[in-house]
Structure 1
Amino acid sequence: MARGANRGDMAAGMSAMLMLSVLLSWIPGFGTLVAGIVGGKLASGFGAAFVAALLPGVIIGVLLFFLATLFAGLPIIGFVAGMGGLALAGMQVAALLVGAVIGGLLAS
């Protein structure tokens, strides 16, 4: 298989992880683990799954940070709320990474 062929698979894995982690966010740890496993299998490899798991977590964390800062009336309080959202997204990334590693190893 060509080296550039995994690039589309990594994008599919990243988008699946992002969508499934948002849709299954009501299940605290198990939802992001399932999203990581599915996205890791789509990314088809350990390295691609690892990178694909980091990007949705960064995107969600940055969006939570900026939206909390944007919608708060006071900038300082919005900044503090945004940092809390960033910390919550960071905790979700741990389960997403574990699931992505499992899915990437299952796909290999």
Structure 2
Amino acid sequence: MKQGSLVMAMIWMAVLSLLLFWLPLFGPLIAGFVGGRTAGSAGRGLLAAVLPAAVLCFLLVGFGTALIGLPVIGVIASASLFLLIVVQSLPLLAGALVGGLMA
């Protein structure tokens, strides 16, 4: 079985999401499908879709704690941002799942 590239899948998802922003449902769906196919499997496709959001949230915890001095505020802000990103990118996750299954 051919192993895909997780980094290239994240890059494809980001670039296609930016280019197809004007298609509200189908833009992220297409980006997720291409990223899932590039990742090589369904699990790796979903990881490529969720990993950038998780990294952004960890950075937000660090910066929120450093700027405010209260780790609880940083954790609350990052958890809410992660939930918002994941809910907003449900078509991206669905496309990554289908693309990974078809790879």
Which of 26, 35, 40 does residue 31 from structure 2 map onto?
35
Aligned length: 101
- CA RMSD in angstroms comes to 3.4
Deviates more, 1:84-93 or 1:36-45: 84-93
Structure 1 residue 53 displacement after superposition: 1.1
Structure 1 residue 10 displacement after superposition: 1.2
| TM-score, scaled relative to structure 1 | 0.61
Please tell me whether the aligned partners of residues 62 and 86 of structure 1 are also in contact (alpha carbons under 8 angstroms).
Answer: no
TM superposition outliers: structure 1 runs of 4+ over 2 Å: 24-27, 56-64, 82-93
Give the structure 2 partner of residue 102 of structure 1.
98
The alignment partner of 1:6 has SS state of: coil
Q: Which runs of structure 2 are paired with 1:1-108 in the superposition (5 Å)?
A: 6=3, 9-21=5-17, 23-24=18-19, 26-27=21-22, 28-59=24-55, 88-106=84-102, 108=103
* CA deviation profile, 1:39-63 (whole Å, cap 9, x unmatched): 0010011111111111234456778
Distance 2:36 2:87 in 1: 18
Distance 1:63 1:34 in 2: 28
Give the structure 2 partner of residue 79 of structure 1.
none
| TM-score, scaled relative to structure 2 | 0.63
The alignment partner of 1:98 has SS state of: helix
Do the aligned partners of residues 57 and 33 (structure 1) sit closer, same or farther apart at CA in structure 2, a change above 3 Å counting? farther
